[in-house]
Amino acid sequence: METVCHGKLWDVALAYDEQQNIVGALPYLMGSKMGLRYILQPQLTQYNGPWYREGTDQGNTTRQLTAHLKKLHLALYLQNFAPSITHFAGWEKYEVSPRPTYRIDDITNPQQVFDNFDKHQRQKAIRRAQKVLHIDEDITPDQFATLHAEYWQSRGKADLLSHDFIQRVVSTAVAHGNGILIAARDADGRLHGARFAVYDSRCGYSLMCAFHPEGHHNATSSFLLWEIFQRLASRTRSFDFEGSREPSIALSYSLYGSYPATYHQVFRSAIPFAKKLLKIQ
């Protein structure tokens, strides 16, 4: 949280059992605009909901967490809960909406993962890329941040992530052993693309990628993702593509052998039209 919320106000709501052991936690990013206080997802943070200690009374734990939120006098609350959160006892006063994501449950056998890729698109693209590209593991966070900005500029859009933010997130994750940054170069050393992924013991996530404007994006992207899978196979178990409602993106994810899964967005507004006032999508 400190890395993605650097320079901003964030905190953690805690819940305790009778022995004062922590049984639940809810990290959150606080913002304020026009005198209205709100909680939203931090940048590059797909999921940011509660953690519950296994075996605890989830309903009672949630009531403690929501009591903390009530004391904040929020105009708006919006967080995405991880797919592992499937029961919502205690969240009855909040709107709970299902959202799609795409996952591979087991990436510990890379060959099996590759065999599940679409043969005509993903496998073919990877084999084509392997003939002309090689992996560079020495690309720096600074170089990646520059490529990321150039990539979005080539698409006629501004990079929504600052250079310093990207550099800080990548550097911190890699230094803590929870991040992988790799690039694809050709025989002349030209940079074709790069991809950054984070992981813990349970799941990996591809957070950012960027490509040279004149490169073959589809082949390079597939090649880099396949290399990420191989490196994550011994470090985590699952992979989450972080869902999208765009049909073309959903199709792209399915070609890697992923399946549609569900996470939930939890929302509450204390005043009408809070989203419009705060310009929140």
Tell me which amino acid residue 7 is.
G
Whether 77 contacts 94, CB under 8 Å: yes
Tell me if residue 134 falls in helix, strand or coil.
strand
Asked whether residue 257 carries a pLDDT value surpassing 80, the answer given is: yes
Assess whether pLDDT exceeds 90 at residue 115.
yes
What is the C-alpha separation between 46 and 152, in angstroms, rounded? 20
pLDDT at 277: 66
Whether the predicted pLDDT of 194 surpasses 70: yes
Instruction: State both tokens at 160.
Output: 């929504």
Q: What is the pLDDT of residues 71-104, one digit of tens each?
A: 999 999 999 999 999 989 899 999 999 999 999 9
Q: Look at 10-14, 215-219, 225-229, 243-247 and tell me which has the smallest mean pLDDT.
A: 243-247
Instruction: Report the distance separating Cα 180 and Cα 169, nearest Å.
Output: 11
- Give the tens place of pLDDT for each residue, 21-80: 999 999 999 999 888 899 999 999 999 999 999 888 889 999 999 999 999 999 999 999
Pairing of β 259-269 and β 95-104: antiparallel
∠ CA 58-242-27 to the nearest 5 degrees? 40
277/226 Cα distance (integer angstroms):
42
The number of residues in the chain equals: 281
92: CB partners within 8 A, 6+ apart: none
Better pLDDT: 111 or 213 = 111
- Residue type at 59? G
Would you give the DSSP letter of residue 117? Answer: S
Mode of pairing for the β-strands spanning 203-211 and 238-240:
parallel
Alpha helix (H) ranges present in the chain?
A: 58-71, 110-115, 124-132, 141-154, 163-175, 217-232, 247-254, 274-278
Single pTM value for the model: 0.91
d(CA 128, CA 137): 20
CA 151 to each of CA 24, 158, 194, 207, 213: distance values in angstroms, whole numbers, following the listed order: 40, 9, 11, 15, 6
